[in-house]
Amino acid sequence: MQLTGQSLHFEAMVRDSVQTKARLLQAAIDEFAAYGIAGARVDRIAEAAATNKQMIYSYFGNKDELFDQAFSADVERFREAVDFDPLDLPGYAGRLFDRFEDDSSSLRLSTWYRLERPTGPGLQAVAEINDVRLQRLRDAQKKGAVTTDFAPAALLALIQSIATSWSTMNPEFTSSKPLARKERRRTVVEAVRRIVSPT
């Protein structure tokens, strides 16, 4: 089927719209990670995305909704990049560690989210990823592959805390006796291995 000039024009508009929205989401992720929700400025986001502020309001409504969509997009990107394997939780912790070492924006976004949105219904993307992980942990516990000494939610909290422990230390601590990345990662993996091993 041959496309008419009008169809080609419409297709180009849709493609440009998708690209503009993607640029805005990435610029928003960078801005919110750096400044939080309150400190972020939509004019900086628009400038970084090479568009205007009206496009933000057109696509996302307001700054809070832009944050919600940017954080949700980052959560989905994070889920794809860091495979959750309940049968290899030490390996998962190592991959979490690597992700935060290589790109701290996800950790900063999550921190801002907890600081500035401590109450409320929460985001669907975050709830969904946690529900899936908790169910997979329950299944692994039933199979005897993971300790039952801790509830699934407690296990997930411990693993995430250990994996982010080096990234959240005060600089005075890490500068006093710096450990090489390889050693920091080994510590994370080994600590999780000891916690999750069935007794």
pLDDT tens digit string along 13-67?
Answer: 445 778 999 999 999 999 999 999 999 999 999 999 999 999 999 999 999 999 9
Q: Are 43 and 140 within one domain?
A: no
Mean pLDDT of 125-151: 94
Type of residue at 75: V
Q: Of 74, 95, 122, which marks where a domain is finished?
A: 74
Range of the domain at 88: 82-199
Instruction: Count structural domains, the chain.
Output: 2
Mean pLDDT taken over the chain: 88
Distance CA(52)–CA(37), nearest Å, equals: 19
Q: Of 74, 100, 123, which marks where a domain is finished?
A: 74
Task: Return the closest-CA partner of residue 188 out of 155, 171, 166.
Answer: 166
Q: Are 36 and 68 within one domain?
A: yes
Q: Are 95 and 65 within one domain?
A: no
Q: pLDDT > 70: what percent of the chain?
A: 88
Q: Are 47 and 106 within one domain?
A: no
Contact 147, 195 (CB under 8 A): yes
Confidence band of 2 (pLDDT split at 50, 70, 90):
low
Q: Which CATH number belongs to the domain containing residue 115 in this structure?
A: 1.10.357.10
Q: Are 23 and 110 within one domain?
A: no
Has residue 169 got a pLDDT over 60? yes
Q: Of 74, 90, 110, which marks where a domain is finished?
A: 74
Distance CA(171)–CA(168), nearest Å, equals: 9
Q: What is the DSSP letter of 151?
A: -
Please report the pLDDT score of residue 10 as a whole number: 45
Mean pLDDT of 120-135: 87
Question: What's the pLDDT tens digit per position in 72-113?
Answer: 999 998 888 899 999 999 999 999 999 999 988 999 999 999
Q: Are 38 and 128 within one domain?
A: no
Q: What is the DSSP letter of 119?
A: S
Q: Are 43 and 99 within one domain?
A: no
Q: Are 10 and 49 within one domain?
A: yes
Least confident of 1-15, 70-84, 144-158, 160-174: 1-15
